[in-house]
Chains A and B, each alone.
Chain A
């Protein structure tokens, strides 16, 4: 069974730009969660999508948004990029989400210059 895939793997952007990251979950998994990982803050929960609906949200500004498609693939968007948005963005796939086991993709490394 194929694992979680994320594209692109690496991205370099400048301040003020916007970016869209993509995540394809494990086949059959309907929940996708997004996390931001930085050396100083660790793994921070962004949001979770299940059946095309945002079910839970972390404490991030509205510049961070996401969506999920009918095939469970998910995208997250960050608008008006700031230097502090430089991080590893991870998505995690789960059968039904919530308190079920999550499996992470390889991540997208975003650098904002």
Chain B
């Protein structure tokens, strides 16, 4: 089982609709959860982070965390063509006393006009 799992996609969503991206993680001790957006040929860009169970909203983006189910999701409302990118879910993991960030393989999102 991968530590951070995402559906690779592509996920195709019509412009203006809600895009829903999902991620599961294996380490119950994880405390920090991140969503990055990566355009082709560019480096990842942090768009959301969440530490507590529940929802966190920032503009058109909502991150949802359910630690009991080890599940984190990202909703993008009013999807725009510029949202077409790969979305990476990242979760912290503790090794001995040190923490590191583990990334999922990403979900490719395509917004069709």
Contacts and interface: CB of A to CB of B under 8 A. Distances in A.
A81 to B, nearest CB: 22
A48 B100 CA distance: 8
Contact of A98 (B42, B46, B98): B98
Interface in A69-113: 88, 90, 92, 97-107
B92 interface: yes
A90 B49 contact: no
Given A90-B44, A98-B92, A105-B43, A56 B103 contact: no
Interface string B5-45: 00000000000000000000000000110101000001111
Nearest to A43: B103
Contact of B100 (A33, A101, A106): A33
Contacts of A102: 34, 46, 101
Interface residues of B, number: 22
Interface residues of A, number: 23
The majority secondary structure among interface residues of chain A is strand
Q: Which of A58, A104, A105 has the most CB of B within 10 A?
A: A104
Contact of A101 (B31, B43, B49, B104): B49
A35 B34 CA distance: 16
A11 to B, nearest CB: 16
Given A99-B31, A99-B32, A99-B92, A45 B43 contact: no
Report the 7 A-B pairs with minimum CB-CB distance, sorted nearest first. Answer: A99-B32, A99-B92, A98-B99, A43-B103, A42-B105, A56-B98, A104-B43
Interface of B: 31-32, 34, 36, 42-46, 49, 88, 92, 95, 98-106
Interface of A: 33, 35, 42-43, 45, 48, 55-56, 58, 88, 90, 92, 97-107
Given A55-B98, A97-B99, A101-B46, 4 more contacts: A33-B101, A42-B104, A43-B44, A107-B43
